[in-house]
Structure 1
Amino acid sequence: MLATVAFACRPDTVAEARTWATKLYALAGGAVPDACELLVSEVATNAVLHAGGPEYTVSVLNDLSIAVWDSSSAMPQKRATDEESTCGRGLELLELLAPGYEVVPDNAQGGKTIRFTPKGW
């Protein structure tokens, strides 16, 4: 693991999490920082909106994957969206920009981790 940072589960921390992860990812040689930025923003936003815990963590791993942990054990579900929808596209974005992403329950501390490797577009 390169680094992990915990962020308070508040909307104003999403930009900080996105910036931190994208900079570290790029410094480590990540080839698609735009995809990293978008996906960290999406997954961190979901942690803030849906997890309900005091914090979430963002990790940049040695293999240039990103892991976002939150305290909710509820697994994400695909939603029906249309061109007017303002939310509900997180799993679609992960499928497009990080094929092979995984959502893993965290049996040690509770909650779940979403791990992905940005692939770009």
Structure 2
Amino acid sequence: MQVLQVQLAVQADPAEVGRARKWVRARLAGNGLDPDASVAETLVLVVSELVTNAVVHTGSPAVLRLTLPVVADAVASTVRVEVADSSHAAPAPRRAGCDEDATNGRGLELVELLCDRWGWYPDGSGKRVWCEIDPVASIHVERQEPVASVL
């Protein structure tokens, strides 16, 4: 299986998060993946959360890296997202609490829920947070019939 690895330098500015989302959509489209597919939407959301965490919590630049399958393998291969920053502090999932209007505290919780795997490791002068999404698993989840809940 062949993969394409691309990366984007992100400045220490929260406005860079929007640029990272646009960049991811363009990379997906350029690699033959439908940028409007639900797996693409998931990737864009995960990138948004990880880049936001890196920029907001470190106040320094970061590097976003995507590892994408080549077009022939696009439907069957895992997509990996990595964000490297200059902080040695471990990412700490927080719960937003009972306040439904809270604007932070859900990022890593979303990553955990949306990705098949995620983690982090020390890397050079900082750390690298990574996650993987298996498009095939995402397709199977999308096709499941809704389960009726009993109240």
The interval holding the TM-score normalised by the smaller chain is 0.7 to 0.9
Query: What residue identity is the alignment partner of 1:18?
Result: R
Aligned to 1:5: 8
Larger radius of gyration: 2
Aligned to 2:65: 59
CA contact (8 A) 1:68 1:114 kept: yes
Structure-1 separation of matches of 2:110 and 2:29: 20
CA contact (8 A) 1:78 1:91 kept: yes
Aligned to 1:103: 120
Give runs of aligned pairs for residues 28-39 of structure 1, distance below 5 A: 28-30=31-33, 32-39=39-46
TM-score for both structures, normalised by structure 2 = 0.69
Q: Does 1:41 align with 2:48?
A: yes
Structure-2 separation of matches of 1:18 and 1:110: 25
The number of equivalent residue pairs is 118
CA contact (8 A) 2:117 2:133 kept: no
Query: What residue identity is the alignment partner of 2:9?
Result: A
SS in 2 for 1:11: coil
Give runs of aligned pairs for residues 70-109 of structure 1, distance below 5 A: 70-81=85-96, 82=98, 83-106=100-123, 109=124
Q: Unmatched 5+ residue regions in structure 2?
A: 69-77, 143-151
| Structure 1 residue 75: Cα displacement | 0.9
TM-score for both structures, normalised by structure 1 = 0.85
SS in 2 for 1:57: strand
SS in 2 for 1:76: coil
CA contact (8 A) 1:25 1:64 kept: no
Q: Does 1:116 align with 2:131?
A: yes
